[in-house]
Amino acid sequence: MTKPIPILLDGDPGHDDAMAWMLAQSSPLLEIRGVTSVCGNQTIEKTTYNAQRVMTLLGIDAPLAKGRTGPLIAEHMAAPSVHGESGLDGPVLPEPAVFPVDLPACALMAKVLEESPEPVTLVPTGPLTNVASLLLTRPDLKGKIAGISMMGGGVTHGNWTPAAEFNILVDPEAADLVFRSGVPITMAGLDVTEKALVFPEDFETIRALDNPVASVVADWLEFFYGFHRKLGYAGAPVHDAVAVAALIAPELFHMEEMYVAVETQGTYCRGATIGDRYHLSDHAPNARVILDLDREGFVGLLTKAAASYS
């Protein structure tokens, strides 16, 4: 059997983060070595509490560390209109049986990297604050990072401003540092994640699996769709799960190598991820950008994952 890929989960759960973690925990192809929370969808206190509850629900047995209280430089912004005041509104979740260790997120990341005999893949599905903090404080560990499979950005459009996707806009300076780091990046941006739609009939297929995790996942999808339906979406776009699915089933995705830069200035374009799709600059590609997917295959992967918790 193929040896599992060691990963570090970093996120701000968040309905789609939670479903990404559900997919990661279910897969024999991945081994979760640690989990870190980041302020994004909500404050760091709320996202950490949500991480604790999601880890408890899913049975993730790995150390958890709390991230910074804010972005590297900018003031924090939250997304209660999307994820609710708790950051994970909807179904009732178990109270935590998992608690943060007495280390900041970047220190736990460094510890996991140091102790791992092989390089570890980082899977950030929120703002890139913790990943940037790791690279700033421990540049000597860059070689222990196998790659970064991230959800964020979009080379054609934004969702929080016309130009910027939320995760990048929360901390553009962190994203800029990460994209310039030289670490291999797989970028699941809005170009593909808005096609990662789970339709209402898929919710019911997952609900019919009739296990506690599948029931919660169906309710998460229902809640998440409630926001997106008002915007004209045909289903719930499970953005963050694409970053995990790309590790498990890369054959489901169309990816292109390109240079991606992050705009940190500008009245209209702060937080934009600019993809040199036609190789017009003299920069070598620094990311594999996912641009399309097999939607039915992606939904099948999520459904199989939810079924595994029976």
The residues assigned a catalytic role are 239
Q: In this structure, what token pair is assigned to residue 116?
A: 């791992």
Greatest Cα-to-Cα distance within the chain, rounded to the nearest angstrom = 54
* Ramachandran sector of residue 21 (left: φ over 0; alpha: ψ -120 to 50; beta: rest): alpha
Going through the chain in order, the beta strands assigned E by DSSP cover 5-11, 30-37, 64-65, 120-124, 145-151, 185-188, 197-198, 236-237, 253-262, 273-276, 287-293
Q: In this structure, what token pair is assigned to residue 182?
A: 């030289």
CA dist list (Å): 8 to 107, 134, 187, 306: 12, 12, 16, 21
Secondary structure of residue 104 in the 3-state scheme: strand
Closest of 40, 42, 7 to residue 121, by C-alpha = 7
